[in-house]
């Protein structure tokens, strides 16, 4: 491997850290959307089941 300047190394580390932060942020947004979707779906299933039990 050839010589890598210190500035290039710092830039690469900064770019890597920044991309990791952005990817983590987006993953957290997607996780929250999934959990909200699952909560709404389970709530609607619970309401359907309660309605069936009330009619029985």
| CA 22 to chain CA mean position, Å | 11
Q: 3 pLDDT band (50/70/90 cuts)?
A: confident
Q: pLDDT at residue 22 above 90?
A: yes
The per-residue DSSP string of 25-49 comes to HHHHHHHHHHHHHHHHHHHHHHHHH
- pLDDT tens-place string over residues 25-51: 999 999 999 999 999 999 999 999 999
Q: 1 pLDDT band (50/70/90 cuts)?
A: low
Rounded to 10 degrees, the C-alpha dihedral 30/34/31/35 comes to: 150
Quote the CA–CA distance of 15 and 12 in Å, as a whole number.
Answer: 5
Q: Is the pTM of this model over 0.85?
A: no
């Amino acid at each position: 491997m050839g010589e890598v300047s210190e500035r290039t190394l710092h830039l690469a580390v900064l770019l890597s850290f920044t991309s990791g932060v952005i990817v983590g942020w987006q993953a957290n947004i997607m996780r929250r959307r999934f959990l909200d979707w699952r909560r709404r779906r389970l709530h609607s299933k619970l309401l359907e089941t309660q309605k069936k039990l009330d009619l029985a």
